[in-house]
Chains A and B, each alone.
Chain A
Amino acid sequence: MRESTIMKIHYGTAIAAVALVAVHVLIRVTHGFAESLEYESVIANYRYVPYAIMLELILVLLSVHGFNGLRVILLELRQGRLYEKSVSYGCMAAMIGLIAYGSRTIIVTNMGLV
């Protein structure tokens, strides 16, 4: 993939994440901020489908943006064909891993398996 395409995704995910995280924060502030991390509250959030979808989107956007940012930082740190390939594929694998793990949590909870 061309670097310009990657950077378009990078900038796009940043803008979208800022918008969605703002919505997330607003919802938390207006729906009892102090109880946000209580067990029942967390389960209820995951079971409410629109909110679960938004959390999933935030997870994907921040993972893509964050791991690409990490890739860019690591590419500047050192150079070399093997190192650069390792960094690129490593960051992609870590991103997929994090999304898979987070999605599993959201899906399992949403389906009432917890």
Chain B
Amino acid sequence: MAMAQEEISAHISPARTILLRISRYNPEHDGASTFAEFTVPYEKWTTVLDAILEVKKHLDHSVAVRYSCRQATCGSCGMMINGRPRLACFTKISELDSETITVEPMNNFPVIRDLAVKFDRLFDAHRSIKPYLVREDSETDTGKEFLQSPGEVEQYIQFANCIKCGLCNAACPTMATDSTFVGPQALAQAYRYVADSRDKGKDSRLRVIDDSHGIWRCHFAGSCSQVCPKGVDPAMGIQLLRGYMLGFR
């Protein structure tokens, strides 16, 4: 037993450390953001969120961060990690291949404090595109399920994986300059419902995004698709939706 214990402990690598730079900013008091630096131990499996929580637990409990599920499902812990929008719970420190990790609040979102940002604009835009099936009857009224073929499901299913983390909006260059742009998240979701064969509300939904700050302002930079942690391709959804609106149906 003692031998086995020794063998196991011999395989555990000694904890390495990284320099974690956390952006600190309180809009009520501070004129500009500053960086607080912490040396944090990490293992192969330590995520950036784990490191931030380590700081909160042992070094500075006042760091503000939003998180919940810790498994890339709730979309709460989006932030800029070494300059790129990522989920902190889904980003291992060992994968970043850097001695220093800088975490900042997501771009294109107003800061509440430190790493926590306001999601109002994202949720308002999401709500505006009617993210639900629009039709007069329902499965409960008719007592019949609205069946779809595998091909019909294939049309939209990848877009249904969106967890509303806002990383795509943080990466979008148009969001940075156009304060009323709908954003890739809402546009991809608009396509998700337009492409759904059960939906009957295409006209009302498309009217919302057919605006001077709607779908036509996308520059097709494609950065939204690069940063999505769930493999959704908002840039493709936007182009397909544009095609639909131009008459390629």
Q: Is B217 touching A76 in the complex (CB atoms < 8 A)?
A: yes
Contact of A76 among B178, B210, B211, B246 (CB under 8 A): B178
Q: Is A4 touching B245 in the complex (CB atoms < 8 A)?
A: yes
Q: Which of A4-61 contact B (CB under 8 A)?
A: 4, 6-8, 11
Known: A4-B216, A84-B212. A79 touches B246 (CB 8 A): no
Q: Is A72 touching B178 in the complex (CB atoms < 8 A)?
A: no
Nearest to A87 among chain B residues (CB) is B212
Contact of A79 among B178, B210, B214, B245 (CB under 8 A): B178
Give the CA-CA distance A102 to B122 in the complex, in Å: 46
Known: A4-B245, A8-B246, A72-B217. A77 touches B212 (CB 8 A): no
Give the CA-CA distance A70 to B170 in the complex, in Å: 26
Q: Is B216 touching A79 in the complex (CB atoms < 8 A)?
A: no
Give the CA-CA distance A2 to B178 in the complex, in Å: 19
Q: Which of B179-226 contact A (CB under 8 A)?
A: 179-181, 210-214, 216-217
Knowing that A3-B216, A76-B174, A77-B177 are A-B contacts, what are 8 other residue pairs whose CB atoms are under 8 Å apart, sorted by A's residue number? A3-B211, A4-B246, A72-B216, A75-B212, A75-B217, A76-B178, A76-B181, A84-B212
Top 10 A-B residue pairs of the complex, sorted by shortest distance between their CB atoms = A76-B178, A4-B245, A4-B210, A7-B216, A79-B180, A79-B179, A3-B216, A76-B177, A3-B210, A2-B210
Q: Give chain A's interface residues, CB within 8 Å of chain B.
A: 2-4, 6-8, 11, 72, 75-77, 79, 84
